[in-house]
Structure 1
């Protein structure tokens, strides 16, 4: 298990403006309003896991990527650690799908209500099936997008996966 990441150096944005308003509302509805003060807003975008890890000052694997794929045309959310890639064949097998592809930007926004680079692990516009890779459990705390490419929040991986309604799976690409 890794130690908790240090508090990042960020702008002095208030907690109510740090998260996307829809995500802040979702946190309140889930009884997680106490997380709002922990949401961190950065002056520059953190659209990639690398950018987020650098801004936070944590290991790349402590970033929780929220990725939307299309399994036989149906959106599915995959939660993956920032240092790893998703193996589409493993996702296909896990879902019993014929074909799995990366969802297009318009499908991501329509499904989640958020733009790529800011998709949180829960609080989406529509319910989707959620697969969470076990690699997230290697840490006591992970950081995920808070609805914008500028904001992230920390949470224990088991709690995050539970709130996302995720099923634990092994869909991480392994080196050949």
Structure 2
């Protein structure tokens, strides 16, 4: 991350990433928090499956991003097969280093480092989905095709099942 990026707050970094992706999302803030998929779905009044969980894993030591439906869990074996490596979960410091954001507020794009990303096909079944907007109490709405485009993700089935 650049020095200027480090000086910016999470909201500003998110908005800069959104602008770079050609988006101008409306950010909704919920003081009670949207850290978990369940909290986010309750806050915005949508189905749990419409929540995008931006989860950072390590694939043979390299950070990767799994954009998962809030109703699903990641099968790390399937994710490893999809990405061609061994998967382990990134710790909180690793998530912040790779993305520039804290766990619970990680958006699906605009990260500190370029990462390979995959998106859960279950998210494509919805007209709109909701994702974190840089902090654990903010979210924004977008269409699944915008999610795929803005994140540069490939679609792949890696949900536990």
- TM-score, normalised by the number of residues in structure 2: 0.92
Residue segments in structure 2 that go unaligned for 5+ positions in a row: 1-9
| Cα root mean square deviation, aligned | 1.0
Partner of 2:57: 69
Partner of 1:26: 17
Pick the structure with greater CA Rg.
1
How far 1:29 moved relative to its partner?
A: 2.3
Q: 1:83 aligns with which of 57, 63, 71?
A: 71
- What CA deviation, in whole Å up to 9, does each residue of 1:58-101 have, x standing for no partner? 1000001000001111110000100100110111101111x211
- Secondary structure (helix, strand or coil) at the match of 1:131 reads strand
- TM-score, normalised by the number of residues in structure 1: 0.84
- Secondary structure (helix, strand or coil) at the match of 1:118 reads coil
- Secondary structure (helix, strand or coil) at the match of 2:19 reads helix
Is 1:164 the counterpart of 2:151? The answer is yes
How far 1:131 moved relative to its partner?
A: 0.7
Is 1:127 the counterpart of 2:99? The answer is no
Distance 2:17 2:80 in 1: 29
Is 1:152 the counterpart of 2:139? The answer is yes
